[in-house]
Chains A and B, each alone.
Chain A
Amino acid sequence: MRFMYIVTPAHAVPPTPELMDAVHKLAEREIKAGRMLGSGALTPRTSGAQVRITAGELSVIDGPFVEAKEVIGGYAIFELKDKQEAVAKAVEFMQVHRDHMPGWEGTCEVRAFAGP
């Protein structure tokens, strides 16, 4: 099964070099293990845009919402056996954050691709 991970930091604090280093090592290991298919960093959520439909009204809300240029989230696509394995991977990934950047807060959303 294929999974999308979407990582969103809670605060506008840039990742420390230690964290970046640990995340890169983890990513390299996952690529070599054939589990990670792709990944990328995303520019801050606050400088993006949102297109919404609410009560039949379509609206475009264009960023920047607040000035917070340093916050970078990211996404990754993994091919794994099942949701349990996907969650175990996400837990490991977040543990790396806790170990290498105390005080970091945020979420890692795990979503399975539809289909076989």
Chain B
Amino acid sequence: MTAADIHRTIVSVWRIEQPRLITSLSRMLRDVPLAEDLTQETLLAALEHWPATGVPEKPGAWLMATAKRRALDHLRRGKMLARKHDMVASDMEQEQQAMPDLDSSLDDDIGDELLRLIFTACHPLLSREARAALALRMICGLTTEEIARAFLLPAATIGQRIVRAKRTLSESGLTYETPSGEQLSERLASVLEVVYLIFNEGYTAARGEHWLRPQLCHEALRMGRVLTSIAPHEPEAHGLLALMEFNASRIAARTDPAGEPVLLLEQNRALWDQLQIRRGMLALARAGELDGADGFYALQAAIIACHAQASTADETDWPRISGLYARLAAIIRSPVIELNRAVAVGMAEGPEAALAIVDNLAQEPALKNYHLLGSVRGDLLHKLGRFEEARAAFEAAAGLAGNQREQELLKRRAAEAAGGAPKPV
């Protein structure tokens, strides 16, 4: 093994073990940011020792023992001990007893701890961006550099974001606990929002030359799967997981070999990932069993399920989709949802009915710079044979699109409309 191989192996092992390390230390220290610092230090210790000694036979146990030793050292260093001694004394005794048993890692049920950690990383006190960065760091074990690359931001920006977020958490003296009752659903909403933000950042890369950044999607999916297994009674957690599984099932079909985006109805459905679709259907069914069929995420998942179940674009159940959008619009008023409803109505009832909805949205300030409004409008006008208006709409939309690939697609549509060609599809 070269030094680089060993380095990569260490980082991989650490990434696998990291959630358990950080939850164990959080339990000992009652301080998540500190636990995170010490977990990082443990990685550094491995990077320092393993190249010389070789990777230990049970790397996870080595990391855990080292991390706990550091936490104990930290507690022994004066001040901290005085303040937290009472709280942790009994826990520590158990921890120490457990330490020699290196096999105990398999018996550890970290579910509750992990849930607590997720609630802390996604605390509503933090900005959405800070929550996303912190969650990727603490739950997914991504390095600052990886997060920065994923969000196309300088590493220093992400580094600062994480430091500030951790300071906010430390200074607020938040109790490290799982919220309950009414607070739970409120706090859970904040967690789901972050997971979905991360997913979408990867799925429809808002900026940059690539249309999607799969790693973020995978991390978000993984968090979604973690949430449904540690909070199995929360319908919206299942709804969000279903939504993400369905969307991710189309990843291979969303771009052609040249990297150009392929729109949903034109995708090769043989490339849709049936394993993921099945997982999505299971999660959606679970949300329904928990009386969550009308949840924000579950409804969106149900809409995509209609696509996932249609073996050809022509078999899509548009009336059902437009009905689901109406239910979605009933629980949350959003011009973006209304725009999507217009697309479904267009397919179910024809472009005329849809254009009426879209034209109602023209004055919506939230959509002023939203390129998809022009894109949808252009499409409807094209279908109605109003080519010149369609061209103008597509061109305006191209000017607003932030993603280069989308811009090119919209310019192509504008050119087609200018030529008065009948609408493809």
Contact = CB atoms under 8 A, between A and B. Distances in A.
A43 interface: no
B229 A32 contact: yes
Contacts, number: 62
A46 to B, nearest CB: 28
B106 A29 contact: yes
Contacts of B368: none
Contacts of A89: 16
Contact of B222 (A25, A34, A77): A34
Interface in B50-98: 57-60
Contact of A95 (B16, B57, B223, B230): B57
B25 to A, nearest CB: 17
A115 B225 CA distance: 22
Given A88-B12, A88-B13, A116 B218 contact: no
A85 B12 contact: yes
A81 B252 contact: no
B229 A34 contact: yes
Contacts of A29: 106
Interface string B6-32: 001101110110010000000000000
Nearest to B19: A33
B381 interface: no
A77 B229 contact: no
Interface in A78-104: 79, 81-82, 84-85, 87-89, 92, 95-96, 99
Contacts of A84: 8-9, 11-12
B47 interface: no
A95 B60 CA distance: 12
Given A22-B106, A95-B58, A32 B230 contact: yes
B194 to A, nearest CB: 15
A84 B8 CA distance: 7
Residue among B16, B222, B226, B279 with max Cβ neighbours from chain A (10 Å): B16
A31 B58 contact: no
A107 B223 CA distance: 30
B224 interface: yes
A85 B110 CA distance: 20
B218 to A, nearest CB: 6
Interface of A is mostly: helix
Contacts of A81: 12, 15, 215, 218
B225 to A, nearest CB: 3
Contact of A32 (B226, B252, B275): B226
Interface in A29-87: 29, 31-35, 37-38, 77, 79, 81-82, 84-85, 87
Interface in B89-139: 103, 106-107, 110-111, 114
Interface core residue of A25, A81, A99, A115 (most chain B CB under 10 Å): A81
B214 interface: yes
Interface in B192-231: 214-215, 218, 221-226, 229-230
A26 interface: yes
Interface string B374-408: 00000000000000000000000000000000000
Contacts of B9: 84, 87-88
Nearest to B224: A34
A82 B8 CA distance: 10
B61 to A, nearest CB: 10
B5 to A, nearest CB: 8
Contact of B223 (A31, A34, A92, A116): A34
A87 B59 CA distance: 13
Given A34-B221, A79-B218, A87-B12, 13 more contacts: A31-B225, A32-B110, A32-B229, A32-B230, A33-B222, A34-B223, A34-B224, A84-B9, A85-B16, A88-B12, A92-B16, A115-B252, A116-B214
Interface of A: 1, 22, 25-26, 29, 31-35, 37-38, 77, 79, 81-82, 84-85, 87-89, 92, 95-96, 99, 115-116
Interface of B: 8-9, 11-13, 15-16, 19, 57-60, 103, 106-107, 110-111, 114, 214-215, 218, 221-226, 229-230, 251-252, 275, 279
16 contacts: A25-B106, A25-B107, A29-B106, A32-B110, A32-B230, A34-B226, A35-B222, A79-B221, A81-B218, A82-B12, A84-B11, A87-B12, A88-B13, A89-B16, A92-B60, A115-B252
